[in-house]
């Protein structure tokens, strides 16, 4: 399958049309941003890790009965995905306190919750992706009530599957962000990526951070963290 015209360039990916109107090609870059684009940099090899890891995780979800937008990996950085219309919500699931949760609610990082939490941000760069609840999402016409319920159920299901999978690799899944899209027939599927850019991971034994927090917080060893996650997922 060939890339045709570029439809979109985001912070970490480009999206291209293909000869099939129902399929797009996503191309992963090494560019990294944090804090709504205020911090910029590159993480060498990140695009390859995120492409391959995200595709692998999408296939695990499919095997566990969660449909996704994944179609086929073309090469190290490029993947064919189903065309979706993105629901403009960032859906965040948390198993352990970290990041904005710890900051907003004045608690330390690393507290394991009795059960996972869910929250939504309105995907809108001009507004800085503000936190919203599901009533607001419905009021703004971002999704129907049924879609919002499906998104909640699917997000928790994705968490159950991924949490168990990462545990088997000696990795704790602290939190992650999902985006959902509508296929042509209206089916809701997880779209976008699932990678160290969009998840927080740490080693179960050493608590070492293995994700983009190393970039956000200038901890060093950013490439090593991405490579370590790649090694564990692909048994390298
Ligand atoms: N996240 C993301 N994109 C965003 C915001 C958050 O992928 O624009 C992910 C982030 O990597 C983490 C989870 O969502 O795994 C929760 O992030 P949080 O709300 O704590 O915000 P942050 O501290 O990253 O600003």
Q: Give the nearest ligand 1 atom to 177 CA.
A: 14
What six digits make up the tokens of 66? 């969660």
Q: Which of 33-42, 62-71, 78-87 has the lowest mean pLDDT?
A: 33-42
Per-residue pLDDT tens over the stretch 169-182: 999 999 999 999 99
Domain spans of the chain? 6-82, 85-234
Give the per-residue pLDDT at 36.
84
Q: What is the mean pLDDT of residues 73-83?
A: 98
Q: Tell me how far the alpha carbon of residue 61 lies from the centroid of ligand 1, in angstroms.
A: 21
Instruction: pLDDT band for 37, please (50, 70, 90 cuts).
Output: confident
CATH code for the part of the protein at 85-234: 3.30.470.20
Mutate to test the pocket of ligand 1, among 13, 88, 92 (most ligand atoms within 8 A of CB): 92
For residues 192 and 50, the answer to whether their CB atoms sit within 8 Å is no
CATH code for the part of the protein at 6-82: 3.30.200.20
Q: Which of 16-20, 126-130, 163-167 has the lowest mean pLDDT?
A: 126-130
> What is the phi/psi pair of residue 233, to 5°?
-65, -40
Per-residue pLDDT tens over the stretch 190-212: 999 999 999 999 999 999 999 99
What proportion of the chain, given as a percentage, has pLDDT over 90? 97
Per-residue pLDDT tens over the stretch 101-118: 999 999 999 999 999 999
What six digits make up the tokens of 7? 């439809």
Minimum CA distance residue for ligand 1 atom 2: 198
For residues 107 and 96, what is the distance between their CA atoms, to the nearest angstrom? Answer: 11
Q: Tell me how far the alpha carbon of residue 145 lies from the centroid of ligand 1, in angstroms.
A: 25
Mutate to test the pocket of ligand 1, among 39, 50, 100 (most ligand atoms within 8 A of CB): 100
Pocket of ligand 1 (CB under 6 A): 90, 92, 98-101, 129, 175-177, 198-200, 212
Q: Indicate whether 14 pLDDT > 90.
A: yes
Q: What is the mean pLDDT of residues 40-53?
A: 98
Radius of gyration of the chain (CA): 17
For residues 61 and 30, what is the distance between their CA atoms, to the nearest angstrom? Answer: 25
Q: Tell me how far the alpha carbon of residue 232 lies from the centroid of ligand 1, in angstroms.
A: 22
Mutate to test the pocket of ligand 1, among 91, 107, 175 (most ligand atoms within 8 A of CB): 175
Q: What is the mean pLDDT of residues 15-32?
A: 98
């Amino acid at each position: 399958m060939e890339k045709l015209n570029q439809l979109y360039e985001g912070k970490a990916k480009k999206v291209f049309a293909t000869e099939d109107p129902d399929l797009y090609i996503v191309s992963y870059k090494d560019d990294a941003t944090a804090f709504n684009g205020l911090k910029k940099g590159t993480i060498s090899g990140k695009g390859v890790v995120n492409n391959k890891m995200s595709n692998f995780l999408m296939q695990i979800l499919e095997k566990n009965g969660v449909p996704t937008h994944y179609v086929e990996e073309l090469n190290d950085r490029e993947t064919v995905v189903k065309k979706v219309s993105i629901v403009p919500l960032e859906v965040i699931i948390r198993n352990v306190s970290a990041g904005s949760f710890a900051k907003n609610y004045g608690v330390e990082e690393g507290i394991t919750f009795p059960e996972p939490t869910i929250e939504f941000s309105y995907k809108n760069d001009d507004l800085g992706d503000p936190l919203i609840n599901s009533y607001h999402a419905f009021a703004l016409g971002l999704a129907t009530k049924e879609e919002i319920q499906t998104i909640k159920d699917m997000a928790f299901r994705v968490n159950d599957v991924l949490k168990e999978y990462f545990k088997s690799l000696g990795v704790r899944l602290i939190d992650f962000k999902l985006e959902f899209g509508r296929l042509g027939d209206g089916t809701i599927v997880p779209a976008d990526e699932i990678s160290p850019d969009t998840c927080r991971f740490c080693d179960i034994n050493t608590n070492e951070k293995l994700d983009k927090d190393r970039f956000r917080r200038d901890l060093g060893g950013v490439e090593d963290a991405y490579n370590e996650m790649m090694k564990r997922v692909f048994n390298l």
